[in-house]
Chain A
Amino acid sequence: MADEIATAEPPTTTNTETLDKVVIRFAGDSGDGMQVAGSRFTDASALFGNDLATLPSFPAEIRAPAGTLPGVSSFQVQIADFDILTAGDSPDCLVAMNPAALKKNLKDLRQGGTLIVNTDAFDERNLAKAGYEGDPLEDGTLDGFRVIEVPMDDLTKEAVKDTGVSGRSVLRSKNFFALGLLAWLFHRPTQPTIDWANKKFARTPEVAAANVAAFQAGYTFGEATEAAKITFEVKPAALHPGTYTNVNGNTALAWGLIAASKLSGLPLFYGTYPITPASDILHELARHKQFGVRTFQAEDEIAGVGSAIGAAFAGSLAVTGSSGPGIALKSEAISLAFMMELPLIVINVQRGGPSTGLPTKPEQSDLLFSLYGRHGESPIPVLAIASPSDAFELTIEAARIAIKYMTPVLLLSDNQVANGSEPWMLPDVDALAPIEVEFAQHPNGPNGTFLPYMRDIDTFARPWAVPGTAGLEHRIGGLEKEAITGNVSYDPANHQLMTDSRAWKVANIVNDIPDLEVAGDEDAEILVLGWGSTFGSIRAAARRVRLEGGKVATLHLRHLNPMPQNLGEILSRYEKILIPELNTGQLRKVIRAEFLVDAKGLNKVAGEPFKISEITEKIVEMTK
């Protein structure tokens, strides 16, 4: 059976339309397995060679009441035959597993788009739970869409009846039925999904068999019933030659930490407390003990950073991670690490705030908090990851800065980077530059004394002297240090000197930061400046403006403190500057203050990324 359908060849009885890109959204109850269906579709597409980008969206509740609007979970993926930058604005195809999923997502489906509905879920009770007064399948609500009605519950039951699953397990496979139907509709290779199911459920062969059977039944259903008059294919993308994998930001970040550990020769220590959406970094790291990774699930956020500070003092590559509310709790300890001048990576996977806010939604509202959210004068380096595939490299960069300059570094991610995925061209790991680590070995002062705050003449970093090294016994702490000796000092001039020294040390990191390069039309009237996860939306919007004949330049910041040296010069070249951010204007405030330019904002805090059209429209408006 598998052999018969394990092919991406188009069926012969229906017409095939070739598209350059398509956006598909799987939507259902949070118990319907939509994230699994979406990820499987994505992986099959990745292995087929499409470029892609994904946007999962799920409720903060583990299981909101079944069938209700708050319980809807969705997964959007855009696949293309060219290099795309986002998961797309509106789906071309929507899978709605129940009325609530339809109600919540139909408004996003483009006119004329394909809608696949599980008719078995459209009973009175579910319609009422979703707030439908009539039946949208019959009352004209779906006019203007290509609707494929499928009794998925019944067909799934029939498909899995000989596999040994029973009771409630039977309908758990219906996501695979939907996936099979989509595989037929979009000419996806089927073998990767079958292999995945067999491997994933190896310990429960009946579940593996049921999922495979449902998947194949979905595919066959499409083929046999000619469920749609037209099927779609999206050819592989002409990406740069290389070997690719599909990766999300949290995973790539975790791998970046492991890589930094290898490159520095320092054991990796990750002290943390579970929090959405950062927990997956812990999960990923905890699996890889063969790399010598020490993960410490602390009793609270403060202990997470505290343990990491201890590990840093003792000579590890020390990392703590959290999301906004947890970073707030760590704030005092980050200032301690800054005062003691120890290397530490602090990861903030931002989410909607303030407080618990929107824990599963993206937002970029911790920028000012990252730059300024500590007591005392404590400027620390801040980096922001642009996309899932950027996470690996920028994490290594964070480690390099922390170690070279003996300072905590804040590494910003957000929910879109963390859970979104895209193809990543695997780097040649042997070609990655080592991270130099020089532990102090010998006393550096007169008469065999050790001076823990004697700074390096170039980097202004103090020596890293780890316990166990004879002759280097010394004490550090939160009280102000006397320059050079590190002894406690309340001397006014010394506090001025040390405050200036710490700030200068961090400002000096700018010498390691490459100059920014403007993308797009250098001679445009408008420059669109971004940071973090808006990278893709901004680039895609600029591309669209150019296709329409407009001119636009874009610039992206990965280093937020210090900012690249040539930023001011670039800003001064443009008449108009637009800064789109998923906050109320935080980078804009900094740019205006630092560079005295009249930057305008495009701001959104709606728990979702920018639509490309939103940015495009703003660019057009500003340039007409």
Chain B
Amino acid sequence: MDSGILISQSDKRPIYLQIIEQIKRRIALGDWSEGQPIPSIRQLAVDLQISVITVKRAYLELEREGVIVTQQGRGSRIAPTPGLGLRLHQEELQKHLEHAARLSALLGIEQKELETRLREASDSLAAKEDQ
């Protein structure tokens, strides 16, 4: 199975984080569904031409977060948790919202204004999509 994962050399983040993010995104988009088997650690390392230890680290982290499960001798699969894709979607959104909140605090923007700006951004996006 082709994982479809692509490691970018110009991406400043460590490779294991790139793997985590891309696997989560595939689940969030529904490309990979709950309970589905995914490539073994060794197989993915060979496919991506990277070290086994890097993939292992990504899988351990994903396991800790409850995104995948690994059974000795039976390989790894997406956790069979109903609604996992939706949860990952929400987490991603939450991360961006927190980032925006942190930035506005840094710039001294008040909460009310942040709310207004968010509404405006959402409206202008909707307007663009209508065109």
Do A and B make up one complex?
A: no
